[in-house]
A and B are shown apart, each in its own frame.
Chain A
Amino acid sequence: MNGAMSSSLALRLAVFALVVVFFQVGVVAELPVFGVNADLCSLLVAFVGLMCGSSIGAACGFAVGLFVDLALLQTLGLTSLVFTLIGYWCGRLRELRDPQAALTPLIVGAAASGVSLLGYSLVEFMLGVDAPVSFELLREIVLGTVVNTILALPMWALTRRALERGLPEDPRRRRQRRTYTTGGLSPLTKP
């Protein structure tokens, strides 16, 4: 699947990403939780990478980042760069380890949020933004990561629901599904 994307998946991904970005800009950005705003876009990119692989993850990260930068009149390329790396690394995690634990999305979401917040700050500092490194910045990064971690599981469920049907059948997952399926007859019991 790496690199190859069906048109169904591309369409689903584009629509879902658009909805998430609009939801982020229109709703989530205006609802501070514990004084910080959640960032669904970084979660989206991370989970797309985790589901679809590194190339699609990176491409999705770039596109979503570019869209966010354009829509919010931010420095063009900043979010794209951070999201590209996040999408790629999450995709590589899937390709190398294929973690199946239930808490994987939680950990990946937390890591992606932390990296994105830290990445923004680093690049902004490198670009010479006049902001002192303070406890407030650290607090925002930590709290932002916590809030995103809380939202990681629901976001993972949504992403999977939106994209799963567009994904090509994975033989390993098919085998796992068959093992866990309780209904139906075992081949041994067939007449």
Chain B
Amino acid sequence: MHDKTVRRRRAVLGLLVVLSLLLLTAYFGEAPNGRLHAVQRDFLAIVSPLQDGANKALKPVRDLFDWFGNALHAKGQLAQSVKQTDKLRRELVADQAEKRSYRQLLAIYHLDQLGVSDYRPVTAEVVGKNPELWYATVTIDAGESSGVGINDPVINGEGLVGRVAQVASDGALVDLITESSMGVSARIGTSDATGLLQPKVGEPNDLLLQYLPGSTQPNVGENVVTSGTVSSGESLYPPGLPIGQVTSVNEESAYKSVNVRPFANLHDLGIVQVLTSGAGTRPSNLSRLATSLPAGQPALSGEQLASTQVGG
């Protein structure tokens, strides 16, 4: 009985394998219009309506799986898109920063045409700002090692920004022109009338050019530039540096004064230039004098120093 079962089992296997091989050989050997191919085509003709029916019946199942697949795919794509957006945003920010730096450098380059290159300009970046509304100081990343000294004028592409108040080896603190101790000898347009430009009390963004001779006829909209001279001689600031624009004129008895809005956007300083000067020059001498003052004495502006302590 067992032998019979074994024989039958082996016979079934042998028969099916031989049948498969025969089919394989015959199918592989015959032409595409052969008998087996024809049988296959006939079978397909019979089965295809069933397949169509099954396809239609199973479409919801397929759609369901597709939905899951698409949802997963969409999730992956979303993550990829978010990553790509982040990357593009970073690139955009970097690009905008570069563009901004380029614009500022270009403006500084144009300013160089005014002759500031004689003052050994050192380009620096603003690395720290006082966050207060009344802020009047910024920190730059150039210091003594770059030749920056106290009282050196600081400019940007728009005009005068301030002067160096303290200096370290690789950084410096800059008093902006709106700082209360600042005073710049300035003139209006091409006139010879000079005055002292100081911050306007109570308005951090405005300056006041005062002590103009009574005969001066200032007009709103005129440019205010550094005069390059003080009563006692040469100023800390090179002549002709743009500072701002006259916004209104104040009528006073003996002297006239005008309100000035600075050209430089002091809230958005990026790249600046420090006009360093060589040893033995007047600004350098002033700097030495300022550092030799006893501690605790209120700091004087460069122009005040120039007019009171240094002769010639």
Q: Which residue of A lies closest to B11 (CB)?
A: A55
Cα distance, A69 to B13, chains bound together (Å): 19
A63 to B: closest C-beta gap in Å: 9
Cα distance, A3 to B39, chains bound together (Å): 29
Cα distance, A23 to B50, chains bound together (Å): 12
Cα distance, A27 to B66, chains bound together (Å): 10
A window 76-97: CB within 8 A of B = 76-78, 80-81, 84-85, 88
The answer to whether B62 touches A31 (Cβ under 8 A) is yes
A119 to B: closest C-beta gap in Å: 11
A29 to B: closest C-beta gap in Å: 10
Contacts of B61 in A (CB 8 A): 27
Cβ proximity bits B156-177 to A, threshold 8 Å, 1 near / 0 not: 0000000000000000000000
Cα distance, A58 to B27, chains bound together (Å): 21
Summarize B's interface: helix, strand, loop or mixed.
helix
Cβ proximity bits B75-95 to A, threshold 8 Å, 1 near / 0 not: 000000000000000000000
Say whether, besides A26-B62, A27-B58, A70-B44, A59 and B9 are in contact (CB < 8 Å): no
Say whether, besides A31-B62, A31-B65, A77-B24, A25 and B13 are in contact (CB < 8 Å): no
> Which stretch in B15-23, B123-131, B138-146, B293-301 binds the other chain?
B15-23
Size class of the contact patch on chain A: 20 to 34
Q: Which of B5, B21, B23, B39 has the most CB of A within 10 A?
A: B23
A68 to B: closest C-beta gap in Å: 11
Cα distance, A23 to B51, chains bound together (Å): 9
Query: At the interface, yes or no: B213 with Cβ under 8 Å from chain A?
Result: no
Query: At the interface, yes or no: A6 with Cβ under 8 Å from chain B?
Result: no
A3 to B: closest C-beta gap in Å: 5
Say whether, besides A26-B62, A75-B28, A84 and B16 are in contact (CB < 8 Å): yes
The tally of residues in B whose CB lies under 8 Å from a CB in A reads 34
Contacts of A75 in B (CB 8 A): 24, 27-28
Contacts of A88 in B (CB 8 A): 13
Contacts of A8 in B (CB 8 A): none
Query: At the interface, yes or no: B47 with Cβ under 8 Å from chain A?
Result: yes
Selected from B16, B47, B54, the residue in CB contact (under 8 A) with A80 is B16
Cα distance, A37 to B40, chains bound together (Å): 24
The answer to whether B13 touches A80 (Cβ under 8 A) is no
The answer to whether B19 touches A76 (Cβ under 8 A) is no
Query: At the interface, yes or no: A98 with Cβ under 8 Å from chain B?
Result: no
Contacts of A164 in B (CB 8 A): none
Cα distance, A111 to B141, chains bound together (Å): 70
Selected from B12, B41, B50, the residue in CB contact (under 8 A) with A58 is B12
B139 to A: closest C-beta gap in Å: 56
B70 to A: closest C-beta gap in Å: 11
Contacts of A77 in B (CB 8 A): 19-27
